[in-house]
Chain A
Amino acid sequence: MASEPKLSHTAAMILQAISTGCVYGFSIMEMTGLPSGTVYPAMRRLERDELIGSRWERQSIADAEQRPARKYYKLTAAGRVTLEASRKRYPLLERMIPSPEARSV
């Protein structure tokens, strides 16, 4: 576990937001309250470190709904492990960005 990257609080918030189902850049901004100039660079670094992966939505789906296609993000296996460690590192993380199940409770 010594080789696990230690996440800054910002990055941990983004991972937590993605894990709770906020898979687009704007929804992550909305959930974390972080500005665009912070969120996207942080996501690029997380992607570089292979903690998250990204994929463009199929154009046909976007065309059917008459909107531009979006890029969405998801946690990788390494990202999930790192997030779990970050939740211990930042005990308030889950309270700040609760999962949908926790919110419904």
Chain B
Amino acid sequence: MRPAVRSAIGGMNRGILRCASLLVPRDQRADWRREWNAELWHMRRACQPRGGSGWKAERAATAFCLGAFQDAFCVRGIRGQNWEIAPSQHGSARECLFWLAGVLALSCILARVLPGVFVESHPSHYQVNPGLVLLQRDLFTDSSAATISGQQFLDLKASRQRGIDGLAFYRMTKETLSPGLHAKPKWAVAHASFNLFALLGGTRSFAALPTETPGGLPPVVLSDELWKRDFKGNPRIIGSVVHVGRMAARVFGVLPRGSWRLPGGADAWLLQPDTEISRSAVGYVVAHITRFGQAEMYNDRLHINAFVADDPDADLWGVSFDERTRGPWTIFRFAVFLAFFALPAITSVSLGESCFSSHRPSLMTNLSRWIFLSAKIVLLLSIAYFASLDLSYWNATGYSALSEYAQLASTFFICLFGMRWILLDQRERCPVCLRRVTHPAQVGQASRTFLAWNGTELMCTSGHTLLHVPGLPTSWFGTQRWMYLDTSWKFLFAGTGVG
């Protein structure tokens, strides 16, 4: 470590001690500060490696200095005779559940505040009619890429297709969109066939959208983001005339945030009759497949032998919308399944129930233990659901494949390591009072494992049990064991004392 850094950390530590000393009553302040400074000097000297200094020593010194605040608060409490540690709560089952519930509440609040999470966790906003597929020319093409021209769409629509009973087309352009003709930032505008929203239908988001041209002007639908940004959220915009590029159109509605899940990320949708569809422009085709077609789907894909008079090789692939509209719950369930499946690979799933004697806790004690374990698992799964959504959609305003992968990964890891912690925690809780056993004491020596016993003993501070954990698992002592203390031990642990 550089001397300058070391000096800076030293200065910081002295500052911490000085701040802490301000909390101590004035008449004791000098004495406390003197003791802290003296001990800090000796501590650094003891912790530092010979001939230099290390981060470990500085970290220990800073931890020591931060502990001074606790000393100071305690000193004030002692003077007022009202400060006591609450030993009954420390490490108790109630404390554990309280912390888990706190984390859950925090992740729920975040989920409520983050717009991406809010949209994602309300699937009713983006549900579409069942049996919809996105047509593409090649099975291996990215489904977010446009592959079908306007002419091909019209050819498909003009001839009866086996297994398809509805087709709609849209293509993406970058155009200005404003009440006047003056320049504005360009937005992603989808030029869509009239029946697009009718075909998607199914949800309240799309139900009220037009299928016919009103008053000669083509209808345009704005996204929530565009409406709020360029039109300041003005509710009177509905029915007014705007210009999409140089074309006048009438605003017909605003699509709620997160409703649009198709490729292209449109900010506005200009609905046009098929006669005005550009023949050469490449876009996307949405198709509704019949029950017969749905029966032929395999792995959310459908091979369609399209009948186009001028193009006998116009085979198409239909990709189901299910991937885009399945919502977070399906991914969550899959990730939880994977995590539980992988759990035995990283920890033992045993709860360490064996004990030295034939003593068995009462049915109620056993029941409360299982209720506590179940409560922890339920809280963990709830945390995993909301926290994974918070992490995945932290910076996203809506659906993205990357966010789905992030949700899958974060749910998996939270569940996997959370379950590992739950099992480890459960193993170290007294079966009687569910408080964590403490004060580990090393017993025996490793060299005497085969003649005697070597391991760690932990005790329940309420005096119910001792936990014996073998240092080196053997065939006769492979897992931890509980020793239930009988009533003759109780007086040793009864009551709370000083310190």
Residues of A within 8 A of B (CB): 5-14, 24-26, 29-30, 35-38, 40-42, 44-46, 48-49, 51, 56, 67-71, 88-92, 95-96
Q: How far is the CA of A70 from the CA of B67 in the complex (A)?
A: 18
Q: Are B443 and A11 in contact (CB under 8 A)?
A: no
Q: Are A8 and B64 in contact (CB under 8 A)?
A: no
Q: Are A35 and B67 in contact (CB under 8 A)?
A: yes
Is B7 close to A, CB under 8 A?
A: no
Residues of A within 8 A of B63 (CB): 35-36
Residues of A within 8 A of B67 (CB): 35-38, 40
* Selected contact of A10 from candidates B41, B78, B499, CB within 8 Å: B499
Residues of B within 8 A of A46 (CB): 498-499
Whether A36 contacts B71 in the complex (CB less than 8 A), given A9-B461, A26-B46, A48-B78, comes out as yes
Is B451 close to A, CB under 8 A?
A: no
Q: How far is the CA of A20 from the CA of B63 in the complex (A)?
A: 25
Q: Are A67 and B41 in contact (CB under 8 A)?
A: yes
Residues of A within 8 A of B345 (CB): none
Q: Are A40 and B498 in contact (CB under 8 A)?
A: no
Q: Which partner residue on chain B sits nearest A90 by CB separation?
A: B492
Interface secondary structure of A, over-half rule = helix
Q: Are A41 and B495 in contact (CB under 8 A)?
A: no
Residues of B within 8 A of A70 (CB): 35, 38-39, 42
Residues of A within 8 A of B42 (CB): 24, 26, 67-68, 70
Smallest distance from the beta carbon of A35 to chain B beta carbons, Å?
5
Is B417 close to A, CB under 8 A?
A: no
Whether A45 contacts B78 in the complex (CB less than 8 A), given A7-B498, A37-B68, A88-B492, comes out as yes
Interface secondary structure of B, over-half rule = helix
Smallest distance from the beta carbon of B483 to chain A beta carbons, Å?
12
Q: Are B492 and A8 in contact (CB under 8 A)?
A: no
- Given A7-B498, A26-B64, A44-B75, 9 new contacts (CB under 8 A): A8-B497, A35-B67, A38-B70, A42-B499, A44-B74, A51-B498, A71-B34, A92-B457, A96-B439
Q: Are B439 and A9 in contact (CB under 8 A)?
A: yes
Whether A44 contacts B78 in the complex (CB less than 8 A), given A8-B498, A70-B39, comes out as yes
Smallest distance from the beta carbon of A16 to chain B beta carbons, Å?
12
Smallest distance from the beta carbon of B487 to chain A beta carbons, Å?
15
Q: Are A36 and B499 in contact (CB under 8 A)?
A: no
Residues of B within 8 A of A (CB): 34-35, 37-39, 41-43, 45-46, 63-64, 66-71, 74-75, 78, 85, 87, 438-439, 441, 443, 457, 459, 461, 492-499
Q: Which partner residue on chain B sits nearest A11 by CB separation?
A: B499
* Selected contact of A6 from candidates B45, B71, B438, B495, CB within 8 Å: B495
Q: Which partner residue on chain A sits nearest B38 by CB separation?
A: A68
Whether A6 contacts B46 in the complex (CB less than 8 A), given A35-B63, A37-B68, A71-B38, comes out as no
Residues of B within 8 A of A89 (CB): 492-493
Q: How far is the CA of A40 from the CA of B31 in the complex (A)?
A: 13
Residues of B within 8 A of A37 (CB): 66-71, 74
Residues of B within 8 A of A95 (CB): 441, 443
Q: Give 24 A-B contacts (CB < 8 Å), ordered by A residue.
A: A6-B496, A8-B85, A8-B496, A11-B498, A24-B42, A25-B35, A25-B39, A26-B42, A36-B68, A38-B70, A41-B71, A41-B74, A41-B75, A44-B75, A46-B499, A48-B78, A51-B498, A67-B45, A68-B38, A70-B42, A71-B38, A89-B492, A92-B439, A95-B443
Q: How far is the CA of A8 from the CA of B499 in the complex (A)?
A: 6
Q: Are B439 and A14 in contact (CB under 8 A)?
A: no
List 3 tightest A-B contacts by C-beta distance, closest first: A11-B499, A37-B70, A36-B67
Q: How far is the CA of A11 from the CA of B39 in the complex (A)?
A: 20
Interface centre among B42, B46, B71 (most CB of A within 10 A): B71
